[in-house]
Chain A
Amino acid sequence: MINKYLSDLYRQIPWTLFSIIFLCLGSCKEEEIKQEVGFDSSRPVVISDFYPKEGGSGSSLVVYGDNFGNDLSKIKVVIGGKSAKVIGVKNNSLYCIIPETAYNGDIQVSIMDGAKEVAQAAAKENFSYTRKWLVSTFLGKYYEVATDFQEKEGPFNDCGAFKGITWLSFDPKNRNHLYFTGDRNSARLIDFEKQYVSYFRTNFDRVSVIDWRIDGNQDLIVSHNHAVDNKYGNYLFSRESNFTQNKAIEVYSRGVNGTMVHPQNGELYYSRFRAGDIRRYDFTTKEDKLAFSNPYSGVAVYMVVHPSGDYAYLMEYDRHYIMRSDYDREKKIFKVPYTVCGLAANTGGYADGVGTSARLNNPVQGVFVKNPDYRETGGDQYDFYFCDRSNHAIRILTPQGRVSTFAGRGNNGTSGYANGDLRTEARFNAPQAIAYDEEKNCFYIGDSNNWLIRKIAKEE
């Protein structure tokens, strides 16, 4: 019995082997068929829920339900009467972006067939829309391909992009004119009235800052940032010539990165990179003298004076901290400065906090902005908003020395390009310059590595 079975088996061996061999030598095909559920017109479209329940313009929203289909081109979502951008749809869920000014927050999902609406559903609950401060792109084109960059003059909607934005400055006599410097690139004039960006021609190879005289015509002061000991560093562009003619301030100054003009007395202060000092120049006496030495040389010091003229902040770019210099009204000169926030070090860091416990990374331009909350308490009424370049953020320094982050580093990140909510979404890439428009209550940010002018304003 067993023998017979064995011999049967034995006889089958060759055929089994043969068939396995042919199976192996032959080819096998692998194909996968994936079928996704599409919209079923016989069933209703249902919205069962959505997440999150509240938010503002630009935030993400996931809508749950049934029978949404899976064709992105056929789905339309309207929130608060505004059409929302849909990113993805699966039959049971979809993902869209909250549109601007969707105040009502009612959610409607429609299935479209061309322009025709085939089915529709509305959420029972409303999305709670909050108005907030938002970052947007004000000027310039975002180049996905760096080599496509174009530098040009033009209307707001076609003015190329701006490399090297270093310093933004409003014309004190004409708030419709905003100038900015471009370091080794061209300086520009933004004309809000004409909605046009044009060159502001200085004919210097490297321009660091722009400032304004307080007296007379309020001429424009341009600093030529060069590395030669026997060359002038600051020039006056006369308003008379429509800022086309210039005249040097006849003092040799090498490596000028920051200047300021005292708002009452009108003398000019400028910082020298290599020498590591701040000098005072008097326009009337033409006297040039040392105001004070900076604790470090080889540091770009940017300076912004308080509107009251009581003190100025000195942004020590390469040392990642900010100093304050108080004004001696008797001697009409700024005094030896002291640290207000950040820690002087070779490497920067990022931390909110008070005084030296805060960490900065290449602070540049700042601007004093009146804080209405301080009206009752009295004292200094201004917060200082400044660009923390390598932290890719706009930060706030209060009169008490507390540093917090105002905008940027969205999605817990660092650099990038994103608009939207100041802290959860917005990202900058090396913001350097900032200007504040008191009338419109908005900020303009020179986003130097995105080559754009960004705007921070509250949603109306």
Chain B
Amino acid sequence: MKYILLTCILFLSISFSSLAQQEVIVKGKVTDAKKEPLIGVSISISNMPGLGTITDVNGNYTIKMPPYQTLVFNYIGFDKQEVLVKEQRVVNVVLKESEASVLNEVVITATGAEKKIAVTGAITTVDVRQLKSNPSTSIADALAGVVPGIQAMQTSGRPGSVSEFWVRSISTFGASNAALVLIDGFERDMNEINVEDVESFTVLKDASATAIYGSRGANGVILIKTKRGKEGKVNINAKVEGFYSTLTKLPQFVDGYQYASMANEAKIARNQEPLFSTTELEILRLGLDPDLFPNVNWQDVLLRNGAKSQRSMLNMSGGGKTARYFLSGSYQNQEGIYKVDNALKDYNTNANFHRYTYRLSVDMDITKTTLLSGGISGSLRKQNDPGVGTDAIWTALMGYNAITAPLVYSDGRIPADDDGNTNADDDINRFNPWVQGTMTGYRENWNNNIQTTLNLNQKLDFITKGLQFIGRFGYDTYNDNWINRYKNPELWDVSRYRNNGELVFKRIKEEQKMTQSAGSNGEKREFFEWETQYSRAFGAHTFGAVLKYNQQAKIFTQNIGADLKNGISRRLQGLAGRANYNFKSRYFFDFNFGYTGSENFHKDYRFGFFPAISGAWNVGEERIIKELGFVDMFKIRYSHGITGNDNLGRDIRFPYLYTIEQMTGGGYNFGDFDSSNPWTGMRYSSVASPDVTWEIATKQDLGLDYSFFRDKLSGTIDLFKESRDGIYMSRDYLPGIVGLESNPSANVGKVEVQGIDGNIALKRRVLGIDLTLRGNLTYSKNKIIERDEENTIYTYRLQEGHRVGQARGLIDLGLFRDYEDIRNSPRQTFGEVMPGDIKYKDVNGDGIVNDADIVAIGATTRPNLTYGFGTSARWKGLDINMHFQGVGKSTYFINGTSVYMFSLGENWGNVLTDMANSNRWKLGENEDPNADFPRLTYGPNSNNYRSSTFWLRDGSYLRLKTLDIGYSLPKAFVNKAHLNNARLFLIGTNLLTFSSFKLWDPELGSSDGKAYPLNRTLSAGISVSL
């Protein structure tokens, strides 16, 4: 090995020295327009491999090079300059500061890059830097409050989990509301991608921008373009980060003594015998019986204070005139928050997550007019979990109170709670959290995915100027495998009393040695596209046209089961086009269309035509406005068009076909009475819905893009309106006389959405500090216009006229004051009531309170308003970036075993400290009709424990989502280390949260808090480029 290495080094040095013989030394100085020397300018030789060199503190450089080559000078913020070196040995260069202006800003659209000024649709380009500070592995987690027009919700903090997000608004209740995500032009998983590989991130929101995607663009489209190599010297970037995450907010529960005292209080409040005798309470207080009256804080037992993670990334890019490359790799690991049994050496039970990604792309100029690009990228994601899974753990962590069971009985037996249910799946929720976390084996889950892309771009100027042809081909494979290795120890439940001092044990589960189960899912996708583009300017007139054909197929390759349908590819096909015209960059007209088909529909309804027109008037280019001097851009745009949605939500295929099955229950009997001679016939188990087709979204968008005072103030405002027709849903209310066994589906629903989104940015330089203030907002309101639902005499009970997912419940009028109050109030039909129970409003005035009094209350769980604002400041090498994110118009009910105290009775369910110590109704102590919580009940209470405004909580919050402090080491210092740039940074995520809801993290949107909370993360790292 040593010898091989030595030989290599020897050969290398020989080749270097042989090269050196023909080289000349070139020196020079690089300055800016003001003659100030520029430090760290990267200088490379065109079409030559190697790192090149950089200028020193005084702007001087020296480089060895063969003569008659071109030197390339690159510096961030300055225009690239190339100098051909002939005989001269001193090359002094003055670099021109590049003019970063909105006018030159480029936006990626469905048909390629376009100048922002020419865009007529509602398109948001996201600053990728803002996405990078998020510690999560998924880009989706970084979107909320950063991107105007995107609303997102992070419902779990578990490593590897991803946010749910949607563009602008949820405008359908039938089919899927997920946006179409295209990476490098093809439909791919956003979580696949390493944020450092992203070149641009664009959200297409209105019909004109998405019409080209035809039957799939209705929910908005996200375009992600990955980085590609650029001509020049090798560019290496590396970044290493370490994270420390703690949970933002864990529900806090009372200790054993308070739990037992309140259990007694609950019993007494309902005229029942107390659960614990005074002697038992005393024993509990003194901690004298750790078996029967333990006092365990399960969160302390199972959860760490914090978890650590690392992320590292390396990419290289460069190339010459004829070929360019980009190569990147990243690794990230997130540690789960569970404590592990240190004695367990063979495997890890923590909820860990690892992700490796790689990406390689090459661009080759085969001829002067032909560009061939190829790319391959992939990822491996590996997720670990305790044997019972994370959901079971959080169920138990919230369900186990301090006295349910000890960690281990004093004789070494392992406890579990017996719910009396023999269903095995149910049982794993009842193991105590420590057993679940450490004694049930472990699960592993891998995802490995590979994406391949090949592009051919041929300029056809020889036919006519401005014409080009692009062909794209993609082939992706997705595989995921899981192995569950489950075991459990022998588990015991003990009765809550002693028999002559001895514990009364019952074994509830026998020991199970480790068993293994495994499975896999696989999928492959094929894409093919060709595109002809034409763009040419004739004086003041600019024309452009695009015609595009695309097809794609997706097929399951593993775990396809016996259903023949699963072996058939899911295919889509479409033709799309665009024509645009502009006059003097002032007046823009665009026509887009998509003609696409989906195999989901009968051939008569398969293809649909989705046109959109849009126009823009760039007022800023008018002479009068131009003369004002301060307007860089002021553009009004409007679009109107239709797009579709072919995703039927549930995994339904070919709804236009019927299903025939054998009859159940004997069939037809032949023969006389009492002689059994049945023949089973055939029956329709589901009837065909041959007329089913896609949802149609008719969208309008009125937008304004502006930029004033040389970009000091810029922003966008969009007003949008959408009407979604033909929402696919099942006809649940057909009369029985029709005689159907299953409910057919049809395009019957209709939803309307209106809203606004926009952003604003303010840039100033004050006292040498570059300051940016920015804000963005998305607000939308949807309304169901039509829906297949049961007729009712009370129209307020219909979902029609309300939001999609509107919360519904009774209206509370506080608590009953006394029996007099109960007698004088409308009769409540949910069960016996006492003073201190919740009093409801009799909405329809019929004298009784029942389900007919349920009305729409509050808003929806998913927020209708998302906003973000932040500031960045840069001073010398120091930069600070602060970003706040908030949501509004979100409400949800709280319920479950910890909110409904003692609702499940003995052993199960917990009492939240905040609730226990709140101003709650107490018999004889605090009989306040306006108390925060009603009279306690031990066991279920069908009057109090139901959805009503009493349990409705405001889910709005504002949080300091990220705080990013960076320090770029001084150039002089960095250059000595032959680096281009080095930055140290500290990032904090979810540092502060402001919300009126205190019980758990409001962003989870959880009704019972039984979820892995979000993380508060501190990270520190270093990024280096050379």
A positions within 8 Å CB-CB of B = 10, 13-14, 17-18, 20-21, 24-25, 27, 30, 51-52, 58-62, 85, 87-90, 92-97, 142, 144-147, 410-413, 416-420, 424-425, 427
Contacts and interface: CB of A to CB of B under 8 A. Distances in A.
Interface stretch (B108-116, B270-278, B645-653): B270-278
A13 B501 contact: no
Given A25-B242, A88-B290, A90-B288, A62 B283 contact: yes
B764 interface: no
B1020 A14 contact: no
A144 B507 contact: yes
Contact of A88 (B287, B304, B507): B287
Interface in B148-167: none
B243 interface: yes
A418 B1020 contact: no
Contacts of A13: 878, 967
Given A18-B984, A20-B986, A60-B279, A417 B499 contact: yes
5 contacts: A30-B304, A60-B498, A97-B500, A97-B501, A418-B497
B279 A52 contact: yes
Contacts of A27: 308
Contacts of A85: 500-502
B305 A14 contact: no
A25 B501 contact: no
B966 to A, nearest CB: 9
Given A17-B967, A24-B1019, A145-B507, A90 B287 contact: yes
Contacts of B242: 21, 24-25
Contacts of A52: 278-279
B286 A90 contact: yes
Given A18-B984, A51-B282, A425 B506 contact: no
Contact of A418 (B287, B289, B498): B498
Contact of A20 (B288, B495, B876, B1020): B1020
A24 B496 contact: no
B288 A417 contact: no
What secondary structure prevails in chain A residues at the interface with B?
mixed
Given A21-B1021, A95-B289, A416 B495 contact: yes
B90 interface: no
What secondary structure prevails in chain B residues at the interface with A?
strand
Nearest to B291: A87
B1018 interface: yes
Q: Give the interface size bracket for B toward A.
A: 35 or more
Nearest to B1018: A24
Interface in B457-500: 492, 495-500
Given A87-B498, A413-B497, A427-B497, A60 B1020 contact: no
B288 A412 contact: no
Contact of A60 (B244, B280, B502, B1019): B280
Contacts of A419: 499-500
Given A59-B279, A412-B275, 13 more contacts: A10-B876, A13-B878, A24-B242, A51-B282, A61-B279, A62-B282, A88-B287, A90-B286, A142-B504, A416-B495, A418-B498, A424-B277, A427-B497
A410 B986 contact: no
A362 to B, nearest CB: 18
Contact of A411 (B278, B308, B497): B497
Nearest to B243: A24
Contacts of B243: 24
A114 to B, nearest CB: 21
Contacts of A60: 279-280, 283, 498
B1022 interface: yes
A15 to B, nearest CB: 10
B497 A95 contact: no
Contacts of A24: 242-244, 308, 1018-1020
B969 interface: yes
B288 A413 contact: no
A93 B286 contact: yes
Question: B280, B290, B501, B502 — which one has the most chain A CB atoms within 10 A of its CB?
Answer: B501
B505 interface: yes
Give 9 closest A-B pairs by Cβ, nearest first: A97-B501, A88-B288, A95-B288, A85-B501, A21-B1020, A25-B242, A17-B984, A418-B499, A412-B273
A406 B156 CA distance: 54
A409 B455 CA distance: 79
Contact of A144 (B289, B506, B985, B1022): B506
Contacts of A59: 279
Given A95-B288, A411-B496, A88 B504 contact: no
Contacts of B1019: 24
A14 B969 contact: yes
Contacts of A417: 495, 499, 504
Contacts of A17: 967, 984-986, 1020
A404 B287 CA distance: 36
Nearest to B492: A144
B967 A14 contact: yes
Contacts of B310: 25
Interface string B829-870: 000000000000000000000000000000000000000000
A361 B986 CA distance: 68
A147 B502 CA distance: 21
Question: A25, A27, A58, A145 — which one has the most chain B CB atoms within 10 A of its CB?
Answer: A25
Contacts of A420: 499-500
A146 to B, nearest CB: 7
A72 B517 CA distance: 45
B495 A418 contact: yes
Nearest to A96: B501
Interface in B993-1026: 1018-1022
A413 B277 CA distance: 12
Contacts of A144: 492, 505-507
B35 to A, nearest CB: 26
Contacts of A97: 498, 500-501
Contacts of B498: 60, 87, 97, 418
A126 to B, nearest CB: 18
A425 B279 CA distance: 13
